[in-house]
Amino acid sequence: MTRTLLLAAIAVAALATGPARAEAVFPPGSKVGLAPPAGFKPSENFRGFEEKLSGAAILTLELPAQAYGDIEKAMTGPALKKQGVIVEKREALALKSGKGVLLVGRQEADGKLMRKWILLGATPALTALVTVLVPDSAKGTYSDAAIRQALASVEVRDSVPIDEQMGLLPYRVDELGGLRASRVVAPNTVILTAGPKDTLDATEQALLVISAAPGGPDETQQRDNFARNLFAGYAGLKDVHILGTDLIRLAGQQTHQLMAEAKDAKTDADVKLVQWVRFGNGAYLRFLGIAKADSWSDAFPRFRAVRDGVGPRP
């Protein structure tokens, strides 16, 4: 009798909980994720998912939380028709951490008829806009029910792990030199620090900022002025004195080195700085390190180790 009751209790619990909810997958760098339909993988070309065989795609976009109301009002049938989208159905859709409105319709793009779903989701953290495009030729594979189920699984995560953000930078940072990545400013900048605080105050913790940008002069004689102008754009200092500049080669590329000392404009603390600008083909990589003068002997070798561990992505 006891065994029978135990089995019955397990069966009731299973019925109450229902099937396990598929876990959301988050495209690299995105706070918006979902459980995609079979065959869809995170895209390497855009923020979202794609199924390359059919050409189907799921695009995700993050917007401010307060944008939901205005966008929801603007997503009318007539307004979307002007953009070539014919809305066939509009319905409310409950999300794990908020509410949403789902529009289903069709659109012709580049001579191809596409089935289209648009989900606008409101969460405390942000407004999620998720668009699904499925070629008419694949609508038998991805039904309205399958896409609706995927969109109902939309979730929002609080933050994107720093390592994941660094994986989206246009360069690799293979050596941290004992520093810690504290912030990534998309799409091309990472800030490293020598301490536990996520501060931008170099009088508290040494900082190293790495950034990449297109451009830069090709002629050697122009690179000194270019690097000096970059350095002059750093704010928050006074009594800046450039100790010296030099042209060196790093990883086979000409690199401009600038050493300086200054005072912090707020605290009058003595600080030291180094800037390396590595020039390449039509682009440059900039390193700017700053630390208090009394901790410079510890910070500078760390900066140099990071510099030597940065390389291009395959």
pLDDT average, residue stretch 227-239: 93
pLDDT at 97: 87
Does position 289 have pLDDT exceeding 60, yes or no?
A: yes
- Residue 42 pLDDT: 96
Q: What is the pLDDT of residue 251?
A: 82
**Residue 14 — pLDDT band, cuts 50, 70, 90?**
very low
> Is pLDDT of 16 > 80?
no
21-156 matches 162-312 in fold: yes
The pLDDT of residue 13 is 40
What pLDDT does 21 receive?
58
Q: Is the pLDDT of residue 4 over 70?
A: no
Quick one: what percent of the chain has pLDDT higher than 70? 93
Which long-range contacts does 249-254 make (Cβ < 8 Å, 24+ apart)?
250/276, 250/278, 250/307, 250/308, 251/278, 251/308, 251/311, 253/278, 253/279, 253/280, 254/220, 254/223, 254/278, 254/279
Give the pLDDT mean for 15-33: 76
Q: How many CB atoms lie within 10 A of CB 39?
A: 15
Confidence of residue 10 (pLDDT cuts 50, 70, 90): very low
34-59 average pLDDT score:
95
Per residue in 161-186, pLDDT (tens digit) is 999 999 999 999 999 999 999 999 98
The superfamily CATH assigns to domain 21-156 is: Mog1/PsbP, alpha/beta/alpha sandwich (3.40.1000.10)
233 versus 49: the higher-pLDDT residue is 49
| Overall fold of domain 162-312 | Protein Transport Mog1p; Chain A (3.40.1000)
Tens-digit pLDDT profile for residues 249-286: 988 899 999 999 999 999 999 999 999 999 988 899 99
- Going from N- to C-terminal start, the domains of the chain cover 21-156, 162-312
pTM to 2 decimal places: 0.81
